[in-house]
A and B are shown apart, each in its own frame.
Chain A
Amino acid sequence: MNITQSAINGKTVLAPEGRLDTVSAPELEKVVKDVIPTTDELVLDLAKLDYISSAGLRILLSAQKAMMTKGGMTVCNVNETILEIFEVTGFSDILTIV
């Protein structure tokens, strides 16, 4: 999977593209693990994400937990399909979606 990484105003922005499932989740997990110690605030731009499976949600959950002790994590550009998955699984309650 293609993950674009950029830095804006001291925040790190990660933008995964395509399907975030069992196959691609380990790639994002590795990037997130590398990024977390180096940044105070993490932004996940999901504009180009088509689908997220439970394996992908797990990555979001551990990133969210890790960033709680720092500047926090926000999720932006969530499309309708993914927002529905967030709502069904209760992730919309724990994530900061803007």
Chain B
Amino acid sequence: MKMEKEKKSFWKKLRDKLTPDLMFHETEVQANRLGFLMLLCSGIILVLILILVETGIFPLQGDFMRAAIIRSLIEITALLVFCKIVKYDAWWLKPLLIVGMVIVYALLDSMLTHKAAILMVLPVVFSSRYFSRRLTVFTSLFTTVIFIFSAYWGATHGFINLNIVTMEEGTRMVATGGFLGDAVQNVLNLDPAAGNKMLIVNTLLYDYLPRWLMFSIVSVISCNIARKGRDMVVTQHEKDVKGARIESELNLATRIQADMLPNIYPAFPDRKEFDIYATMDPAKEVGGDFYDFFLIDKDHLCMVMADVSGKGVPAALFMMASKIILANNAMMGKSPAQILTDTNEAICANNREEMFVTVWLGILEISTGKLTAANAGHEYPVVKDADGSYEIYKDKHGFVIGGMPGARYKEYELILKPGSRLFLYTDGVPEATDADGNMFGADRMVEALKAIDPSADPSVTLKAIRAAVDGFVKDAEQFDDITMLNLEYKGDLS
């Protein structure tokens, strides 16, 4: 029992050691695919060599080589099948591919010897694709050892390199069966012990060493590639993690911002005198536009439409502050002009970044339909009389809020008759731009409003306007926040 447990823990340990960090998982699968491709190519080459040998075009020594090629082909096939079975994704595939590749290429090398010096570098170059310097170092060392044997086998069985054996002057080479290797064997056979030693020394010195020196350069380069690749993956991973964190924070911010605006409809189910609906669609995750509406008392409905300079997070932060200050001032029962004046002072007091917000604010006396409003640099409201159609109402404009301390705002009055409508919006509507840079424009906006059934609910009205904007810009990216509010005044029905 105890033995079993230890054995299990060894495999577990090996597995843990060979399983890469999650961030390298994709890299590893891709590297396994590359290994598959390399082995596939090698297999095809081996089959070609086998055909050349069998047809007698390629002068390799018969049985040993044939056996080696077939052995390599079996090994390659097994590795290819393993790759396919686990879909390139298993912790043991990496060492198997590396070791298998070194052995296959060593065998091939022993057949072709000096004619295929490049074979030695293939596994180590391949190993760098795993972005692990340790693996590349291991592959280099393993290749170094295995290829010593291949050099030796090559000298006795492969393409012969006559430089390997020094012969006395006047030595006559007699080849049987036309192979130079046989001739060398014959020379060695004269004094097996001394000849073999000479063969080993000469093989290592004249064949293996120069190749190994070149190989070591490739190893160093491969180690560097592996390390740099690792650094790149790690850096990218850190960026991804950071990006994901920012994204999730922005998602939460979007929801917080949306929840800050009244968004449950019908907003005032027990008030039959009016119907109100508003939407905000930020261009980015969070926006600088906002609307607001709330009852100051039983008879007074306050409506706000506002647009903060800029977009995104800075605008959203400024928007939150502006919304709260405006609402607080309104709840104190001040007039619209006074609300804007006081809000401006409050915002200007702490506004080093010189952000500003355009605001249209109106207070509707529900019982009479009297609308008192003030405008701080915001778009003109669009008003529809009970029996008329939507028209832009060019109201008096004050300066934007947060722009200048001491700014004064003027208010004006409008009487809404039962059946009247009020449409408020931010510049995202008229300035919605199509792919050619044309703007939707206030004229098109008013035309679109006129085209809507006058008895349609405010929610339907806003959806129709949004559809008109979308139809105009088509697939161009939404550039600015799009915010709209529609009020239908039905009058005192009691």
Residues of A bordering B, CB below 8 Å: 21-22, 25, 50-51, 53-55, 57-58, 61-62, 65, 87-91, 93-94
Contacts and interface: CB of A to CB of B under 8 A. Distances in A.
16 contacts: A54-B307, A54-B358, A55-B311, A57-B309, A57-B356, A58-B309, A58-B354, A61-B356, A62-B354, A65-B354, A87-B397, A88-B397, A90-B376, A90-B397, A90-B399, A91-B377
B313 to A, nearest CB: 12
Contact of B378 (A57, A62, A88, A91): A88
A94 B311 contact: no
Interface of B: 288, 307-312, 354-356, 358, 376-380, 397-400, 403-404, 427, 431, 437, 479-480
Nearest to A57: B309
A51 B479 CA distance: 13
A25 B479 CA distance: 14
Given A87-B397, A88-B397, A61 B310 contact: no
Closest 5 CB pairs of A and B: A90-B399, A89-B377, A54-B309, A90-B377, A58-B309
Contact of A94 (B379, B399, B427): B399
Given A53-B427, A65-B354, A89-B399, 12 more contacts: A22-B311, A22-B312, A50-B437, A51-B431, A57-B356, A58-B356, A62-B354, A88-B378, A88-B379, A89-B377, A90-B398, A94-B399
Most B CB contacts (10 A, CB to CB) among A21, A55, A62 go to: A55
A3 to B, nearest CB: 19
Determine the main DSSP class of B at the interface with A: loop
A89 B403 CA distance: 10
A58 B401 CA distance: 12
Contacts, number: 61
- Which of A22, A54, A65 counts the most B-chain CB atoms under 10 A from its CB? A54
Contacts of A91: 377, 399-400
B399 A93 contact: yes
A61 B356 CA distance: 9
Nearest to A85: B427
Contacts of A51: 431
- Residue among A51, A61, A87, A94 facing the most chain B CB atoms (10 A cut-off): A61
A89 B398 CA distance: 7
A22 B479 CA distance: 10
A89 B310 contact: no
A61 B354 contact: yes
A30 B404 CA distance: 22
Contacts of A61: 354, 356, 400, 403
Contacts of B311: 22, 55
B310 A55 contact: yes
Q: Which of B354, B399, B403, B479 has the most CB of A within 10 A?
A: B403
Contacts of A89: 358, 377-378, 397, 399-400
Nearest to A25: B310
Contacts of A94: 399, 403-404
Contacts of A62: 354
B311 to A, nearest CB: 5
Contacts of B358: 54, 89
Contact of A55 (B309, B376, B378, B404): B309
B174 to A, nearest CB: 85
A71 B312 CA distance: 35
A21 B288 CA distance: 14
A22 B307 CA distance: 14
Contacts of A53: 427, 431, 480
A25 B311 CA distance: 12
B285 to A, nearest CB: 14
A28 to B, nearest CB: 13
Contacts of B398: 90
Given A55-B309, A55-B311, A58-B309, A90 B354 contact: no
B400 A90 contact: yes
A46 B397 CA distance: 23
B403 A22 contact: no
B354 A54 contact: no
Contacts of B403: 61, 90, 94
Contacts of A65: 354
A55 B354 CA distance: 10
Nearest to B308: A54
A65 B404 CA distance: 9
A53 B479 CA distance: 11
B399 A58 contact: no
Contacts of B404: 94
Among A25, A53, A62, A65, the most chain B Cβ lie within 10 Å of the Cβ of A53
Nearest to B355: A58
Nearest to B311: A22
A90 B376 CA distance: 7
A54 B310 contact: yes
A61 B402 CA distance: 10
Nearest to B358: A89
B252 to A, nearest CB: 23
Nearest to A92: B397
A91 B311 CA distance: 20
Contacts of B397: 87-90
